[in-house]
């Protein structure tokens, strides 16, 4: 089983739609969680961190469920510019080390 | 943008030759990572470093070695390149925040390596 798993998609949605991505992780001791966005042939960039209480940034909402070991990302009122691959990231750190493990990503295509 | 640069940005090399990729940061961040990205596999961790001369293997470390002799530089070496190592390589850095909790990672622009 992979450490971090995501539905690869693609998710094809019309402009204005609400879309949700889920990600599951296997290590119950994981400490930090993030969502990244990656545009074609570019480096990944941080979209938002995920906190236990859930957090929102404009049209984006991230949730963490530690008991079920999954993370979610909700995008409301999708824009054409939201088309990208969304990567779930889990940080396993302890002592001096810190491993960042990425899911394979979920491709979102927003259609006009 | 975070101060992280990768070199070279593109490289074509022949099978069996050694190749070294360089990641340089100006942020004084503790952690540095090397990933490779291939279609269908996403970003896979090759090696990472948690301090000068402190490194550990990731999930796809076979055929790769790393070195970190100073905080700002993390080198990835393919001792004898093979066609299966044709990929896009990303370097990333992350620091520490309150209570030494790791902060988010910032990525370099990537190195496109082709082994022929």
What would the pLDDT profile of A51-66 be if each residue is shown by its tens digit? Answer: 888 899 999 999 999 9
| pLDDT over 80 (residue B114) | yes
How much is the pLDDT for B99?
65
B-chain residues near A32 (CB < 8 A): 101-102
- Tokens 């100073």, residue located: B70
A-chain residues near B90 (CB < 8 A): 43-44
Concatenating the DSSP letter of every residue in B28-90 gives --SEEEEEEEETTTEEEEEEEEEETTEEEE-TT-TTEEEEEEETTEEEEEESS--GGG-EEEE
How much is the pLDDT for A32?
86
How many Å apart are CA A13 and CA A41, to the nearest integer?
22
Sign of CA dihedral A51, A54, A57, A60: positive
What would the pLDDT profile of B20-45 be if each residue is shown by its tens digit? Answer: 999 999 999 999 999 999 987 889 99
| pLDDT over 80 (residue B107) | yes
pLDDT band at residue B14, thresholds of 50, 70 and 90? very high
Asked if A101 has any chain B CB less than 8 Å from its own CB, the reply is: yes
Question: Closest residue of A to B96, CA-based?
Answer: A98
What would the pLDDT profile of A79-107 be if each residue is shown by its tens digit? Answer: 999 999 999 999 876 666 678 889 999 99
Average pLDDT rounded to a whole number, residues A5-24: 93
| pLDDT over 80 (residue B96) | no
| pLDDT over 70 (residue B101) | no
What would the pLDDT profile of B58-68 be if each residue is shown by its tens digit? Answer: 989 999 999 99
Question: Closest residue of A to B48, CA-based?
Answer: A99
pLDDT, chain A, mean? 90
A91-103 in b/e form (b: 16+ CB < 10 A) is bbbeeebbbbbbb
Mutate to test the interface with B, among A3, A5, A102 (most CBs of B within 10 A): A102
pLDDT, chain B, mean? 92
What would the pLDDT profile of B40-60 be if each residue is shown by its tens digit? Answer: 788 999 999 999 999 999 989
| pLDDT over 90 (residue A42) | yes
């Amino acid at each position: 089983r992979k450490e971090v798993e995501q539905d690869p998609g693609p998710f094809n949605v019309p402009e204005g739609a609400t879309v949700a991505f889920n990600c599951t992780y296997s290590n119950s001791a994981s400490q930090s969680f993030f969502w990244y966005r990656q545009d074609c042939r570019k480096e990944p960039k941080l979209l938002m961190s995920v906190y236990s209480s859930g957090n929102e940034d404009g049209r984006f909402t991230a949730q963490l469920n530690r008991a079920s070991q999954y993370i979610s990302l909700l995008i409301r009122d999708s824009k054409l510019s939201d088309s990208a691959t969304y990567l779930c990231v889990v940080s396993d750190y302890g002592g001096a080390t810190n491993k960042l493990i990425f899911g394979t990503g979920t491709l979102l295509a927003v259609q006009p | 943008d975070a101060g992280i640069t990768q070199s070279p940005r593109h490289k074509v090399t022949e099978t069996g030759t050694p190749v070294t990729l360089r990641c340089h940061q100006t942020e004084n961040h503790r952690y540095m990572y090397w990933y490779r990205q291939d279609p269908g596999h996403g970003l896979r961790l090759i090696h990472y470093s948690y301090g000068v001369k402190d490194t550990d293997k990731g999930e796809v470390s076979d055929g790769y070695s790393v070195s970190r002799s100073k905080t700002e530089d993390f080198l990835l070496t393919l001792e004898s390149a093979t066609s299966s190592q044709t990929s896009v390589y990303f370097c990333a850095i992350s620091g520490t925040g309150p209570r030494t909790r790791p902060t988010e990672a910032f990525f370099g622009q990537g190195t496109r390596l082709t082994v022929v």
